[in-house]
Every structure is written in C-alpha cells, then in structure tokens.
Amino acid sequence: MVEAACAGLERERAAADAALAAHTDPGTRLGEDGITVRELLVHRVEEYARHCGHADLLRECVDGRVAVASGAWPHPRRRVTSTCRRDA
C-alpha cells in the first residue's frame, strides 16, 4: 500500500514538473482562471507542507514522539494524544 502511494505521488510530481517546465516565466498566466505559474508553484509547496504536517500528526499518534522545540507548543504530547483519542 505504501509503495503504491509513493508511486502515485511520483507520477503526479513528474506530471506537474513536465507541465510547469513548459512555462519558464513565473508570471505566465494559464487556463481560464488566468492563474500564474508562480501561484501554481506556491500552491504546490503549500499543499506538500500541509500533507507533511498531517503525516507528522499521525506519526505522533502512533509513537508519541513530538518534534517541537521546547516551549514552542505547550504540552504538545498531551494535546496531540488527546486529539487522537477524541477522534478515534
């Protein structure tokens, strides 16, 4: 299952790279909405970061480890664990 998900991600990444490679000017407007290449690239980074954050929360629910600097998020383990239990 993980291998299939990784393969799907790689296919999507390759397709997006190929489509964007044809447009070297980040100000180029595309499609009916006229979104710029720059906006597409920013959106791509935002989505990737968001999904990485979701994966990190799931990992924290499984192993209880938190990857947060001291004091950055008060009682992160308690907060994430209670959220996982509540939503289970």
Check: CB of residue 74 under 8 Å from CB of residue 64.
no
Per-residue pLDDT reduced to its tens digit, 9-50? 899 889 988 988 999 999 999 999 999 999 999 998 898 888
Q: Where are the alpha helices (DSSP H) in the chain?
A: 2-21, 37-63, 76-87
Check: CB of residue 40 under 8 Å from CB of residue 30.
yes
Find the range with the poorest average confidence among 5-9, 35-39, 62-66: 62-66
Dist. CA 9–CA 79, nearest whole Å: 30
- What sign has the CA pseudo-torsion 80, 85, 87, 88? positive
Q: Is the pLDDT of residue 76 over 50?
A: no
